[in-house]
Structure 1
Amino acid sequence: MRSHFLNHSAAFMAIAAMAACGGGGGGSSEGAADDAGEAAPAAAAVDPSTVGTITGMANFAGMVPTMEAIDMSAEEDCAAGYGADGPMNQMVMVSADGGLANVFVYLSEGVSGAPAASGAAMLDQSNCRYSPHVLGVRSGQDIEITNSDNLLHNINASPTENRGFNISQPRAGITSTQRFQMAEVMVPVRCDVHGWMQAYIGVVDHPYFGVSGSGGSYTISNVPAGDYTMTAWHEEFGTMTASVTVTAGSTTEASFDYNSDMMGANVPMGETLVIGHGTNRIRVERTQ
């Protein structure tokens, strides 16, 4: 990665920040990454005698990469939300017993038909971070994006297959609704005002996906009996696949083993405009 630095006046820096954030916002704003038409019908009840459960672990072996601390000193209210060690980068989060968090796991082959989507997925901005860091949604599903910080954020989604969006939320309490119409793994999301704020949205055509938690475990429920290919995705370690057979009324285990030799499979994020708070410099970062 290389960085390019440009000197600007403080006034221009403020203007650039607003420009990077897209349009302004009111108390509540709604938009759509793609035309969605009418709301999807409520999901039909699932017959438990025809479905099973997939559960498993995302494991990590080897030396855990050291994650850098995030300097939020220019945003004191955000920094106050973390402990004495301060906020850390979320790219690689490994538990004490080797569980890897933020792995997106989904059925990538074998699904034929799926119940209709129901409800909205939630993406929050709290203490100058996106929460969750990795989010799974269905194509066409509403994504409610909220600013819980009383300061300016923007949400810049840069998909390849879908229409992107770049919207601003200048104060707490604003919620915007967006959606992606096509399956795409992954859609990178960033805040151009706070360069450390990054998230990923995995979009699939069915509800059979999950994200590993802090201990590395995941569960996918109500999967129709059958044979499938599963894919696991991680922002630094890339993708892995596994074949699974789901039996009605039973639980199938499928785990994914990552290691330190797999480091470096980054998802391209495009250009990121990073504004140095309290300085007169704007940094543009590009992935190679």
Structure 2
Amino acid sequence: MKRIIPLLAVAALAVPALAAELTGKVTLKGTPPPEVEITPLKNDANCGKLVTQTPKTIHYVVGPNGELANTVVIVKGVPDAKSTGASATPAVIDQKACLYVPHILAVQTGQKILVKNSDPVLHNVNTTRPNAVEGNPQQNLAQLAGAPDLTFSFPKPEAFLRFKCDVHPWMFAYVYVVDHPYFAVTGTDGTFKIPNLPPGKYTVEAHHRKGGSVTREVEITQAGGTVEFSIEAK
């Protein structure tokens, strides 16, 4: 006698595991070094006109209860994870008041980065490599005021690839290049969300450019998962 499997059961077998969301928060332990005024910007004949107060460095962006922004959180070990950067929405870096905005950005390999110049001055965008042997090829392009956006993309994963302006040497931004879409950058409240994860056990890394890296193990169910990190000020 043949066994008959109900149609609904067959349909259920064909449906993949539901994707879940990982949420969490990163906080800073300890007191970070004081930020420093960027006096060359204020004293610059052109850039100084674009600000009313002297900006400060933003190595640590910390909330009233230690909430740590600009931390890159990455999930490791997702089955069949691969970059979807070629079809992803382009990321954007702007040059405003002679500073890069945002200061920290994370993208996928192959994902476009559009660099805008909202300033009435000349900038140049120089992607310098922390690892000259294994890093992505260096690019160095000038961008006049009102010029079209510059487009960058990077084929290799790389931690905190540096964007700098040689015209204004205080200008820096850092791009973390990941070879899959399972990452996020914490906001000013220290929180992050990483969607579309299949349930399972994963290693999750939190990387702060100044505070270093912390690793946690987490299990994500169909209801989701949560993880918290504490990074020490250095």
TM range (shorter): 0.7 to 0.9
Q: For residues 149-172 of structure 1, what are the alpha-carbon distances to aligned partners after superposition, in whole Å with 9 as ceiling and x for unaligned?
A: 111111111233211211111213
Tell me which residue corresponds to 1:276: none
Q: For residues 257-286 of structure 1, what are the alpha-carbon distances to aligned partners after superposition, in whole Å with 9 as ceiling and x for unaligned?
A: 0123xx1xxxxxxxxxxxxxxxxxxxxxxx
Distance (whole Å) between structure 1 residues aligned to residue 43 and residue 83 of structure 2: 46
Q: Tell me the percent identity.
A: 33
Question: 1:186 offset after TM fit, Å?
Answer: 2.3
For 1:259, the aligned partner's letter is: E
Q: Secondary structure at the match of 1:242?
A: strand
Gaps of 5+ in 1: 1-46, 264-288
Gaps of 5+ in 2: 1-14
Question: 1:181 offset after TM fit, Å?
Answer: 0.6
Matched, 1:113 2:81: yes
Could you tell me which of 43, 50, 58 is aligned with 1:74?
43
Question: RMSD value over aligned CA atoms?
Answer: 2.1
Tell me which residue corresponds to 2:68: 100
Q: For residues 29-62 of structure 1, what are the alpha-carbon distances to aligned partners after superposition, in whole Å with 9 as ceiling and x for unaligned?
A: xxxxxxxxxxxxxxxxxx8962111111110122
Distance (whole Å) between structure 2 residues aligned to residue 192 and residue 141 of structure 1: 25
Distance (whole Å) between structure 2 residues aligned to residue 170 and residue 241 of structure 1: 42
Distance (whole Å) between structure 2 residues aligned to residue 78 and residue 190 of structure 1: 16
Question: 1:109 offset after TM fit, Å?
Answer: 3.2
Question: 1:133 offset after TM fit, Å?
Answer: 0.8
Distance (whole Å) between structure 2 residues aligned to residue 54 and residue 214 of structure 1: 18
Does the aligned pair in 2 maintain the 1:48–1:222 contact within 8 Å? no
Q: For the pair shown, which has the larger CA radius of gyration, 1 or 2?
A: 2
Distance (whole Å) between structure 2 residues aligned to residue 111 and residue 202 of structure 1: 21
Question: 1:177 offset after TM fit, Å?
Answer: 0.8
Q: Secondary structure at the match of 2:43?
A: coil
Q: Secondary structure at the match of 2:110?
A: coil
Distance (whole Å) between structure 2 residues aligned to residue 258 and residue 197 of structure 1: 25
For 1:95, the aligned partner's letter is: G
Does the aligned pair in 1 maintain the 2:78–2:197 contact within 8 Å? no
Matching of residues 125-274 of structure 1 within 5 Å: 125-159=95-129, 160=131, 161-248=135-222, 250-260=223-233, 263=234
Distance (whole Å) between structure 2 residues aligned to residue 107 and residue 219 of structure 1: 11
- Structure 1 pair 148/183, CA: closer, same or farther in 2 (3 Å)? same
For 2:128, the aligned partner's letter is: S
Question: 1:189 offset after TM fit, Å?
Answer: 1.5
- Structure 1 pair 68/181, CA: closer, same or farther in 2 (3 Å)? same
Distance (whole Å) between structure 2 residues aligned to residue 83 and residue 106 of structure 1: 37
Question: 1:112 offset after TM fit, Å?
Answer: 2.0
TM-score between both structures, scaled by the size of structure 1: 0.68
Question: 1:74 offset after TM fit, Å?
Answer: 3.3
TM-score between both structures, scaled by the size of structure 2: 0.83
Does the aligned pair in 2 maintain the 1:92–1:100 contact within 8 Å? yes
Does the aligned pair in 1 maintain the 2:83–2:179 contact within 8 Å? no
Question: 1:251 offset after TM fit, Å?
Answer: 2.8
Does the aligned pair in 2 maintain the 1:59–1:258 contact within 8 Å? yes
